[in-house]
Each structure stands twice: as structure tokens, then as C-alpha cells.
Amino acid sequence: MKAQLNRRDFIGKTSVAGAGLALGLPSVLRGAQTAAKPAQLGGPKARATGFPSWPVYDQTEEQALLETLHSGQWFRGSGKAVARFEDEYKKLTGAKHCIATSCGTSALTTTLGGLDIGPGDEVIIPPYTFVATYNVVVLNYALPIFVDTDVETFQIDANKIEAAITKETKAILPVHIGGSPADMDKILEVAKTHKLPVIEDACQAHLGEWRGRKLGTLGLAGCFSFQASKNLNSGEGGAVLTDDSDFAEICYNFHNQGRMRKTVAFPYSGSRGSNLRLTEFQGNLLLAQMTRVIEQTNRRTENANYLTRLLEEIPGITPAKLYPGTTRSAYHLYMFRYDKARFAGLDRGKFLQALSREGVPCSGGYGVMNTEPYVSGLAKNARFLKVYGEKRMQQWLEQNRNCPQNEKLCAEAVWFTQSMLLGPREDMDQIADAIRKIQKHAGDLAKA
Ligand SMILES: Cc1ncc(COP(=O)(O)O)c(C=O)c1O
């Protein structure tokens, strides 16, 4: 979407909506909204127009890309844009060091490579995450150990981490899923007790905060993604943040074929490495996208908080809770649980379909990763069998089945994407109207 709505327009629209369609919408008006038939049954849509599209860009991005094009300096070794982006991202997050990478997966790969995690090692991860969190561990022939989900917050259940630690554990890799913080107090406490590094998967959590500190700056390192769907976007891209100067240099070397910052002609560090560098085009694009990231983040926060207040009033809809240490969620995803018992038994699949038909795009989110065939298949992988043995791999399969809360969550979750939170407040009212309408007609929808 080209940026069309300026700040003044936005404030104008939100305040009008705020005055006319505030939380205490008169019940007579609410009644009119819910009385209409659901779109699924031939009625009018609760929302006839689309939500804000993504990405947002204008001449700022055009100029940035052309500037790099005409400079002829397209890779970080010759240009300045990636280094400038790293400086700006450090300023934005308060981190001491930033290493831009080609994507979020490569940011995670860089940190695990930097820790020299390999065959025989175990890394603790949540099962409620994007597959990349799992893949980076497996790629190093280390064993991912799933710790069950806290169904209330959708995050890793930090109280269950300690029981999963063994003498082979080499790192804790929590994910700030949906951009909301995992329980970092508890995670850092357990990590300290067991002298384990924490690598935060903050790939969805740009500008999220825990006790006033930016997510991705609390553990040894934090990893970010700038893939197309993310709140900060360069198509593909990523970054590692760390306050540890030695680890920063190790990560820099790893992402640059094991080569150090240029002080001599061929500065090989002697450590492992790969080419995981960001291009100058992406660096400059990110600098342009950063000119609006704070305003967009504020807008998401405002809309998400309002939507939560609306949805909390609907029986059977439970928005994901935030831990008390949360000072900001990045709201990469707006997530809630759906209880079909309060919707006349209408199953989640049909609820999602009906909501989409109302003009509110939604999804059921992640599957049960810990028991998916692509994960269980690892127990048959010849390399893993060689490193861990048949008995350990069978035991691992058993362990993986021990995430009952994650299973429950995967059956109940509903997601909205971040760009749906970028419009006026009225959009949130229409989302809530659509859900109330479905609830009122749930019996008929269940029969249809
Ligand atoms: C939680 C999480 N971790 C890691 C990644 C991987 O990032 P990328 O797609 O940039 O490689 C993603 C991307 O969606 C993610 O959501």
C-alpha cells in the first residue's frame, strides 16, 4: 500500500470513530449490527472494505533504492547503507551491537554458530513458533527440546523450562511470539542458575518491551526478521543484537565467511562461517521503512488495546494475556482463543470461515509442531541416529508428546495480522461487530 493516510487524517478518523463508536456502543446500535444475517448465510458483510494493505511505502523507499542502484555499491563491503542501518537499529533498541543478516533464520543461525552449538547438544525451544526456530537447531545436528506453551499468553511456559534442562543443554531459545514478550524474568533467572545463554527469537517482536527494555536486548543476543510480513520489512532481512562485544565480533565473523572486520588484507578469524550478509539495497530500504516504524507501532498498540477491551466483553473470546513485566507488545499478530461452547458448538474452522466471509481475514495459526510428521521424522534421520542413538531418539519422540497445553492452544487459537491494526479505531469496532454477529447466529451457522 502506498502511504496515503497522513498522521492528521489518522488522528481525525480515529477521534471521530472514538466519539461515535466508543467502547460503550449503545446496545440499540449493537443490536442492529448483530441482527443482520451473517454474510455466510447471505447477509451483508460486517466490513465491506479491505483492511490496510502491507507493505507501506512512498517516495522515501523509491529514492533509497535508486540511490543504492546508482551508487553501484550493492554489497555491504563496498557501501555504507547496511552499516548505517546497524547504527540506527542500535539507537532504536538501545543495543550495543547490531549485525545485519540476510534473514531472521540466518540471524538465529549466526548466534547458534557463534555459540558453536552442534551434534550432541540440546537447545530448549517452544513448540508454538514458526518452523525456523526448530530448523536452526536441527541444521546444527543439535536436539530441539520442546517446553510446553502457557495457554493464557501463547508463550513458552517459563515455569517448565528448568525441568527440561540436562547436562547437554547448551542454550535457551525463547520466542516472543506474536511480538509479545515471553516471561523474561523467569527465563533469565533459570538461565543464570544453570549458566546457560539465552538467545531471544525476537523475529516477530520489533520494538516490543519488557520492563522498558526492548525485546532482543535482554539475553546474550536477540534475533530479528525483516521478512515481508514483519513489522519492519525489507522483503528478506534480519539482525542480531547483543551487548556482548566479544560475541558481537564472533557473530560478525560467522555471518561473513569467518572473516573479521577488515584490518588486514585477508582477515580470517579461524572460526566457522558462511555468507549471511544483508545487501545494501535492503539496508537502505530498512532505513526508509524505519522513518515510520514508531508511528506504526504506536498505532498498533492503540488499536490492539482497544480491540482487547471489546473482545473481552464477548463470552468465549479470550485475547492472549500479557505478562505483568510487559511494557509493550509489538503486536505482529493479534491472537485470541475461541471457545466453541459459547458459540453453540460452532467449530473453529466454521468460525474462521464465517469471520472471513464478514470481511475480517483471520487464521487458526500454527499446527502442533511437536507432533507434526516433519518433526517426528527426525527420529529416523540417519545422522541423528548416529549421534544420539535409537533409544534417545525414541525417548525424544515421547518427550515431544508431552505438550498438552500447546495442543489445546493450537485447537483454539485465532490470529489477525499486524496490518489489520494500522487503520482507524472504527476497524476494531467492525471486527468485534462481526464476531458478535457470528455468535448471535452461531446455531444457524453450525447447521449450515
Ligand atoms: C518466530 C520466528 N522465528 C524465525 C523466523 C525466521 O525469519 P525469516 O523468515 O526472516 O528467516 C520467523 C519468520 O517468520 C519467525 O516468525
**Tens digit of each residue's pLDDT (9 = 90 or more) over 405-420:** 999 999 999 999 999 9
Of the candidates 19, 270, 220, the residue with the CA atom closest to the CA atom of residue 115: 220
pTM, to two decimals:
0.93
Mean pLDDT value across residues 301-311: 98
Considering only residues 3 and 206, tell me which one the structure prediction assigns the higher pLDDT: 206
Ligand 1 centre to CA of 241 (Å) is: 15
Mean pLDDT value across residues 273-302: 98
102 lines ligand 1 (CB under 6 A): no
- Long-range own/partner contacts, residues 44-47 (CB < 8 A, 24 or more apart): 45/357, 45/358, 45/359, 46/358, 46/359, 46/360, 46/430, 46/433, 46/434, 46/437, 47/358, 47/359, 47/360, 47/427, 47/430, 47/431, 47/434
Ligand 1 centre to CA of 228 (Å) is: 10
233 lines ligand 1 (CB under 6 A): no
Q: Residue 276: pLDDT band by 50, 70, 90 thresholds?
A: very high
Instruction: Kindly report, residue by residue over 145-176, the tens digit of the pLDDT.
Output: 999 999 999 999 999 999 999 999 999 999 99
SS3 at position 370: helix
DSSP letters, 85-100, are HHHHHHHHHT-SEEEE
111 lines ligand 1 (CB under 6 A): no
Instruction: Kindly report, residue by residue over 247-265, the tens digit of the pLDDT.
Output: 999 999 999 999 998 776 7
User: Mean pLDDT of all residues in the chain?
Assistant: 93
Q: pLDDT at position 390, please?
A: 98
Mean pLDDT value across residues 419-428: 98
Of ligand 1's listed atoms, the one at least distance from the Cα of 177 is: 1
Ligand 1 centre to CA of 296 (Å) is: 20
204 lines ligand 1 (CB under 6 A): yes
Ligand 1 centre to CA of 202 (Å) is: 9
Of ligand 1's listed atoms, the one at least distance from the Cα of 176 is: 1
Ligand 1 centre to CA of 130 (Å) is: 6
Taken in order of first residue, the domains within the chain and their CATH numbers are 7-54+293-366+409-447 (3.90.1150.10), 59-291 (3.40.640.10)
Of ligand 1's listed atoms, the one at least distance from the Cα of 108 is: 4
Q: What is the percent of the chain with per-residue pLDDT over 70, rounded to a whole number?
A: 92
Q: What angle do CA 125, 128, 134 make, to 5 degrees?
A: 45
Distance of alpha carbon 304 from the chain centroid: 15
289 lines ligand 1 (CB under 6 A): no
φ and ψ at residue 17, rounded to 5 degrees: -60, -40
Ligand 1 centre to CA of 104 (Å) is: 5
Q: pLDDT at position 32, please?
A: 60
Which amino acid is it at 133? T
238 lines ligand 1 (CB under 6 A): yes
End-to-end CA distance of the chain: 36
130 lines ligand 1 (CB under 6 A): yes
Q: How far is CA 69 from CA 75, 205, 288, 300, in A?
A: 11, 30, 15, 33
Residue 340 has which C-alpha cell? 466453541
Ligand 1 centre to CA of 223 (Å) is: 9
109 lines ligand 1 (CB under 6 A): no
Q: Residue 338: pLDDT band by 50, 70, 90 thresholds?
A: very high
Provide the residue count of the chain: 448
Q: What is the percent of the chain with per-residue pLDDT over 90, rounded to a whole number?
A: 89
Of ligand 1's listed atoms, the one at least distance from the Cα of 229 is: 14
pLDDT at 24 over 60: no
- State the CB neighbour count (10 A cutoff) for residue 232: 22
Instruction: Give the whole-angstrom CA distance, residue 261 versus residue 176.
Output: 31
Ligand 1 centre to CA of 417 (Å) is: 15
φ and ψ at residue 441, rounded to 5 degrees: -110, 20
Instruction: Kindly report, residue by residue over 346-398, the tens digit of the pLDDT.
Output: 999 999 999 999 999 999 999 999 999 999 999 999 999 999 999 999 999 99
Instruction: Give the whole-angstrom CA distance, residue 107 versus residue 286.
Output: 16
